[in-house]
Amino acid sequence: MPRPSIILTASATLIALALAGCGGDRPATGAAVAAPASSVEAQTVAARVLPSLVRIRVVGVNPRQGKLDKYESAGSGAIIDATGHVVTNHHVAGKVRRVWCDLSDGRQVEADLVGTDPLADIAVLRLRLGGKPVPGIATWGDSDSLRVGDPVYACGSPVALSSSVTAGIVSNTRMVMPDFFARWADFFAMDGEQVGDLVRWIGHDAVIFGGNSGGPLVDRAGKIVGVNEIGLGSMGGAIPTVIARPVAEELIRSGTVARSWIGLDVQPRLPARADHRGALVGGVTPGSPAAVAGLRAGDLVTAIDGEAIDVRSPEELPGFNRRILIAPIGSDLKLAIYRDGKELAVVARTQARGAALGHDDEILSWGVTVRPLTRLSAVAKERASANGIEIATVQPGGPADSAHPRLEAGDIITAVAGKPVLALKDLPTSGGPVLLSVERKRLRFTAALNPSDAEPPPPPAEAGGAWLGLALLPHDATLAEALGKGTPVGLQVTLVVPGSPAETAGLKVGDLLTHFENEPIEITGTGDVDRFTAQVRRYKAGLSVNLGLFRTGTTSTVAVTLAAQPPTPRRYRDRVLEFSCREPSAEERAERGLSAGQPGLIIEGIQNAGWADVAGLSEEDLLLAIDATPTPTVAAAQTALTAARTARAATVVLHVHRKGHSRYVTILPEWPRTP
């Protein structure tokens, strides 16, 4: 399960190693190093910032094997206005199904995602305050005023612990991803975006850890100068407010960030072109504004709107990119070009850039996750048009994997029954076979898919076989020797199920089984009990078998008439709450000391990050009641859970028994949308 904060921490490992020895651009200027932070200053800063700090707990989703898999994660954020907007990272809260925030005054409130921007790795939440005031508001500072050596404070919830403040200094004001990380570009990408294309991080040594992601980096006045994003040990990286603040404000305003695009691929100029300044054009997207303007590979862009450009190193690329990205959509960019020893002037009219990748969605009846094409993802696939829906992941053996021919990740659905697909709603999710027009790279073909959203069938019955009704443990040579008195090896009876063939035959706890059907029972040290049980199971019910017995120093042979194994315990799986429960077997009832008729269902099969898991339900819990209704049987549990689902209850309260104690577990479900 990906944990964003950990992912970024891992990324930071490489970054930190790679940047060892690299410095920022400002120390060389001889800027005065600020006085070290004092504990009084730290206390003042903490008093200013901590009230606005929130710990964020999310249930997010990631596409995997044809479904949006949920995961649970945590991060940090800061309240930035009185209406309850919280700024954090996209990788913390950008792909959430549910999000809760712990406020500094002890409240835990649910929040909604206002907007998210993977390119800047910034997201904004809004707290559901219910009319109550926020406990504090953080204020924005000026990241451009930072100098290497300035004291800074990192605030957040490392490892999801409660709010913390750590102190450090600015180590670097323009930390970038070096060129040689390009080979791991896909690993570093977030929803197809490379944060380093836009962001130069504030490097600092205030200790941060997974869970600090999204928390503010503040200056000595307690103002936000960055949003922590990456970190390892003593080295952290924060997105400067010069980037984070306008993005957050635009997200609050419009829910999205509008950016411009002209279709240029730019890189630092080559050593061989050291004779002339500029940004080297590596390529131009066919049909793009840059292509229309006449730009071509090998050109040097020397100025944009009259401002001189020089890109000598990767550190200078984000600045160039930003200049284009923040230009108003539809505006004319005046580009000065150096080509073949001549200066040229061209104009490129910007277009809306859009996201690198479309929003992930799932079609359960197809067994796929899909995403609409965007301008950029279409370009990456060398397609002229962004029309169509891309299959991102496929459930093995699911309807898409069984289509004729099979669909694969990366396929693009361009039409259904000849009708062009422009949006997700154009894909039918039910009915008979669907005829699809599909593109796979340069291939074009038609496929037939049969949507199926049938619930998984109940598990099959297990063939019974014979049954003794005993719980056993190995009684090995060491134990036999310790007991002395000629005690043999065998299997010791630890429990006799009431009413079982073993009880009828007079077997008792403490007996030692030495022979089965006159053959000695071997004790090898591993799997002895399972082997014996399987051996018994292979016999037919109704047969009489001989058991060799050692009891209080005496050996004897007991004939036991085997019974049929009790039926497979009934199970119920709740697909919405994402857990299963089953009735305990006869042995389990005896082991747990449950008398006949005493309620108790065994909890099992809790889906990772499912609503039951998030609520804290635990495997092996004994379910006693649901919403105060006792659950002696699976049928009773199913009825109670169906009632909660029908009523779309805000909470489902389970009363469970766990390790000698009982407790209430409150599930906050997200019921499926009604058609």
Partner 1 sequence: MSRPYSAALLSTFVILLGSLGGASAAEPIVGPAAAPSAKEIFTRFGPALVQLSGTVKTTMKFSGNAMPGRESRLDAAGVVIDADGTVITSANVVDPGRMMQKAMKAGGSMSGMDMKMDVASEHSNLRLRAPDGTQVPAVLVIIDGDRDLAVLRPDAKDAAAQKMAGKWPALAAVATDKAEVLDQILVLGRLGAQFDRQFALTPVQVTAQISKPRPCWIVNGGSPGGVALTRDGRYLGLITIQLGEVDFSSMMSASQGMAVVPAAEILELVKSANAPAAK
507 binds partner 1 (CB under 8 A): no
Name which of residues 41 to 70 contact partner 1 (CB under 8 A). 65-66
Options 45-53, 173-181, 530-538, 664-672: segment touching partner 1 (CB under 8 A)? 530-538
Could you tell me the smallest distance in angstroms from the CB atom of residue 570 to partner 1?
10
Our CB check for partner 1 shows the closer of 166 and 565 to be 565
Tokens 């950990």 found at = 6
Decide if residue 599 touches partner 1 (CB under 8 A).
Answer: no
Cα Rg for the chain, rounded, in angstroms? 33
- Does the annotation count 91 as an active-site position? yes
Closer to partner 1 by Cβ: residue 44 or 62:
62
Options 459, 542, 616, 672; binder of partner 1; rule CB under 8 A: 459
Footprint (CB under 8 A) of partner 1, residues 253-292: none
Does residue number 399 form part of the binding site for partner 1 (CB under 8 A)? yes
Element (H, E) at 246: helix 241-254
Does residue 606 interact with partner 1 by CB under 8 A?
yes
Residue 141 CA to chain centroid, in angstroms? 31
498 makes contact with partner 1 (CB under 8 A): no
Own/partner contacts of 302-309, CB < 8 Å, gap of 24 or more, are 302/276, 302/277, 302/278, 302/336, 302/337, 302/338, 302/343, 303/334, 303/335, 303/336, 304/333, 304/334, 304/335, 304/336, 305/333, 305/334, 306/334, 308/277, 309/277, 309/278, 309/279
CB atoms within 10 A of CB 346: 17
CB of 592 to partner 1, least distance (A): 16
Is residue 130 close enough to count as binding partner 1 by CB under 8 A?
A: no
C-alpha closest to that of 416 among 436, 438, 386: 436
Please pick, from the candidates 605, 627, 639, 671, the single residue that binds partner 1 as defined by CB under 8 A: 605
The alpha carbon torsion through 511, 512, 516, 520 (nearest 10 deg) reads -160
Examine residue 591 and tell whether it contacts partner 1 (CB under 8 A). no
Quote the CA–CA distance of 58 and 95 in Å, as a whole number: 9
Q: Using the rule CB under 8 A, is 451 a contact of partner 1?
A: no
Among 7-15, 216-224, 325-333, 604-612, which window interacts with partner 1 (CB under 8 A)? 604-612
Assess 608 for contact with partner 1 (CB under 8 A).
yes
Q: Smallest distance from the beta carbon of 456 to partner 1, in angstroms?
A: 4
Task: Provide the 3-class DSSP secondary structure of residue 508.
Answer: coil
- Tell me how far, at minimum, the Cβ of 268 lies from partner 1, in Å: 41
Nearest to 233 by CA among 387, 16, 381: 16
Provide the token pair at 301.
């862009």
474 binds partner 1 (CB under 8 A): no
One-letter amino acid of 484: G
Using CB under 8 A as the binding rule, whether residue 372 contacts partner 1 is answered as no
616 touches partner 1 (CB under 8 A): no
- What's the per-residue H, E or C state across 61-121? EEEECCEEEEEEEEEEEEECCCCCEEEECHHHHCCEEEEEEECCCCCEEEEEEEEEECCCC
Q: Is 592 in the site for partner 1 (CB under 8 A)?
A: no
What are the residues whose beta carbons fall under 8 Å from the beta carbon of 426, sequence distance 6 or more? 389, 416, 419, 420
Closer residue to partner 1 (CB): 398 or 501: 398
Q: Which of 27, 178, 464, 584 binds partner 1 (CB under 8 A)?
A: 464
Contacting range for partner 1; rule: CB under 8 A; set: 176-184, 270-278, 455-463, 653-661: 455-463
Q: Which stretch binds partner 1 (CB under 8 A): 86-94, 173-181, 298-306, 521-529?
A: 521-529
User: Which of these ranges, 77-85, 238-246, 351-359, 603-611, lies near partner 1 under the rule CB under 8 A?
Assistant: 603-611
114 vs 513, beta carbon nearer partner 1: 513
Q: Which is nearer to partner 1, 156 or 367 (CB)?
A: 367
Q: Which of 69, 102, 117, 121 is catalytic?
A: 121
Query: What's the rounded Cα separation, in Å, for the pair 4 and 175?
Result: 20
Q: Least distance to partner 1 from the beta carbon of 579, Å?
A: 12
Rounded to whole angstroms, the Cα distance separating 245 from 36 reads 27
Cα–Cα distance, 231 to 10 (Å, whole number): 8
Alpha-carbon distance of 576 to 523, in angstroms, equals 45
Nearer to partner 1, 128 or 540 (CB): 540
Q: Which residues share a beta bridge with 109?
A: 101
Task: Provide CB contacts within 8 A for 430, sequence distance 6+.
Answer: 365, 451, 453
Structure tokens at 451: 């949507």
Closest separation in Å from C-beta 459 to partner 1: 7
What span, in angstroms and rounded, lies between the C-alpha atoms of 242 and 198?
11
Residue 135 or 464: the one with the smaller Cβ distance to partner 1 is: 464
d(CA 319, CA 621): 56
From candidates 23, 133, 397, 499, binder to partner 1 by CB under 8 A: 397
**Rounded least distance, CB 16 to partner 1, Å:** 28
CA distance 38 to 41: 5
From the list 21, 130, 396, 593, which residue makes contact with partner 1 (rule: CB under 8 A)? Answer: 396
461 binds partner 1 (CB under 8 A): yes
**Options 213, 365, 500, 580, the catalytic residue:** 213
Draw the binding track, 538-577, toward partner 1 (x: CB under 8 A; -: no contact).
xxx--------------------------xx---------
**Span of 208-216, 315-323, 523-531, 665-673 interacting with partner 1 by CB under 8 A:** 523-531
With 0-12 CB in 10 A as exposed, 13-18 as middle and 19+ as buried, what is 312?
middle
- In the bound state with partner 1, the residue whose beta carbon lies nearer, of 170 and 466, is 466
Selected catalytic residue, list 85, 91, 204, 475? 91
Candidates 530, 648, 662, 670: give the one binding partner 1 (CB under 8 A): 530
CA distance 619 to 640: 20
Is 655 noted as a catalytic residue in this protein? no
Between 336 and 614, name the residue whose CB sits nearer to partner 1.
614
Size (the chain), residues: 675
* Options 28-36, 83-91, 340-348, 396-404: segment touching partner 1 (CB under 8 A): 396-404
85 catalytic? Reply is: no
How many Å apart are CA 521 and CA 105, to the nearest integer? 65
Q: Name which of 95, 223, 207 is nearest 156 in CA terms.
A: 207
Please state whether 306 falls in left (phi above 0), alpha (psi between -120 and 50) or beta: left
Applying CB under 8 A, among 341, 418, 457, 593 the residue interacting with partner 1 is 457
Cα separation, 666 vs 628, whole angstroms: 12
DSSP for 322-346, written as a single string: HHHHTSPTTPEEEEEEEETTEEEEE
Only one of the segments 310-318, 487-495, 496-504, 537-545 lies at the binding site for partner 1 (rule: CB under 8 A); that segment is: 537-545
> By C-beta, is 208 or 407 nearer to partner 1?
407
Residues that bind partner 1 in the complex, under the rule CB under 8 A: 1, 65-66, 367, 395-399, 401-402, 452, 454, 456-457, 459-465, 524-527, 530-531, 534-535, 537-540, 567-568, 605-606, 608, 619-620
Catalytic residue positions, numbered? 91, 121, 213
